[in-house]
Amino acid sequence: MTKTWKTKLIHSDAKIPEGYKSLATPVYRGSTTLFPSVSAAHNTWDQWRVGYTYGLYGTPTSLELAARICELESGKYTILTPGGQNAISLINLALLNTGDHILVPSSVYFPNRKLASTLLTRFGITTTYYDPMIGAGISAFIQENTRLLWCESPGSITMEVQDIPALVAAAHAKNVRVVLDNTWSAGILLDAFAHGVDITMQALTKYIGGHSDLLLGSVTVLDDALYHRLGAAQQVLGAAVSPDDCSLALRGLQTLAVRLSAIESSALAIAKWLAARPEIELVLHPALHSCPGHEFWKRDFLGSSGVFSFVFEPGLSQQKVHTFVDALKLFRVGYSWGGVASLVLSYDINRIPGRPGYDHRIVRLNIGLESTEDLIADLDQALAVIQKLP
Ligand SMILES: Cc1ncc(COP(=O)(O)O)c(C=O)c1O
């Protein structure tokens, strides 16, 4: 068939050499996936079972990332989402019905709590917030209609490390599934499935991406029935991942080991330095005794990552805390974490019910890959700034 140049723009006969091999996974961009014939066309979402049908359900780029996260977490199935918060909402929307009840730790990542208190409430799903240190005592909060026990360990900002095996045992005794937000450990430093967790999720945005330039999430399970509920829900929710972001995350994975190990030692050195400062009441780093649940971290985790908090001595005004944060030169002010740049934020924690009485004195750090000495010098000079204030 002869083609005009306009048709050649869409249906080209140009040829390139075959056989190129690269170390990098190609970025397959695509909404449409081609079928050999109309009778072969269908829109089944499970690309592992039926092959490729539609870009929303997976491309070789996104499925490779999913498979690699699954391998690292020792799961059976991983579904990618466009962000960590979307992984949280997918789990709830896929697995809950009107009339169900969930348990959420009071230390949970705030948008997780907000989902429960807004959208889930509107859909007739009730939530009880529990003390993250409750352990086996969670049994008393499990109701007839409780379906999910959410865990996040360590908790956001206040860093409580949870007794996951005790929570799992209590939940499973009453047929409740356990979900863990395992972002802090990059899905690696805590082997969630070995500790009995049923569903893990991560914000790949953090350590897997590792450079603060993408948003992705993952949900991983062992159970076939859970996978089918999650996959079917994701199809109709239509939350697609960007193949470009997946490609960046695949690149991020290759340096995860060296980044995590450098960040771990730097964060620990900085946490210990802060613990020795008279201005600081408490350092909330899971590897330090001062962190609630330190004993569970020691028992269950393979190491620590680079996010931790500290609490100024009582009496320091919020204004002075803000002055300290703003005086930092290397630590930048911003949300999210897990990248190579150190970050800082202070919080007024008592505005959230059920949180410890640290009020406005709590500051969270994300330690990046700058020199530890320079980061300590930065903290030192910012502490000196507030010391000089009346
Ligand atoms: C513990 C935790 N889980 C989930 C999320 C949400 O991830 P994302 O920003 O990719 O939506 C965050 C983000 O800060 C987080 O800190």
- Average pLDDT score, the chain: 97
Which of 188, 187, 193, 184 lies closest to 164, judged by CA?
193
pLDDT level of residue 350 (50, 70, 90 thresholds): confident
Share of the chain above pLDDT 70, in %: 100
Say how far apart CA 338 and CA 250 lie, in whole Å: 15
Q: Is the pTM of this model over 0.85?
A: yes
Say how far apart CA 5 and CA 8 lie, in whole Å: 5
| Per-residue pLDDT at 366 | 98
pLDDT level of residue 355 (50, 70, 90 thresholds): confident
Expressed in angstroms and rounded, the spacing between residue 337 Cα and the centre of ligand 1 is 9
Say how far apart CA 64 and CA 62 lie, in whole Å: 5
Query: Identity (one letter) of the amino acid at 379?
Result: L
| Per-residue pLDDT at 353 | 81
Mean pLDDT of 62-76: 98
**Ligand 1 neighbourhood includes 82 CB (under 6 angstroms):** no
Radius of gyration of the chain from its Cα atoms, rounded to whole angstroms = 23
Q: For residue 83, which atom of ligand 1 is closest to its CA?
A: 10
Q: Which of 27-41, 108-122, 269-283, 351-365 has the lowest mean pLDDT?
A: 351-365
pLDDT in tens, 210-257: 999 999 999 999 999 999 999 999 999 999 999 999 999 999 999 999
In order, the DSSP letters of 291-328 are: STTHHHHHHHBS---SEEEEEEPTT--HHHHHHHHHH-
Expressed in angstroms and rounded, the spacing between residue 113 Cα and the centre of ligand 1 is 12
pLDDT in tens, 138-165: 999 999 999 999 999 999 999 999 999 9
| Per-residue pLDDT at 7 | 98
Could you give the 3-state DSSP secondary structure of residue 65?
Answer: helix
Q: Whose CA is nearest to atom 4 of ligand 1?
A: 84
| Per-residue pLDDT at 351 | 76
Structure tokens at 221: 């399970």
| Contact between residue 168 and residue 143 where contact means Cβ atoms under 8 Å apart | no
Expressed in angstroms and rounded, the spacing between residue 85 Cα and the centre of ligand 1 is 6
Structure tokens at 46: 């499970």
Q: Whose CA is nearest to atom 5 of ligand 1?
A: 84
Could you give the 3-state DSSP secondary structure of residue 354?
Answer: coil
Expressed in angstroms and rounded, the spacing between residue 343 Cα and the centre of ligand 1 is 15
Q: Whose CA is nearest to atom 8 of ligand 1?
A: 84
Answer whether residue 27 shows pLDDT above 80: yes
pLDDT in tens, 307-337: 999 999 999 999 999 999 999 999 999 999 9
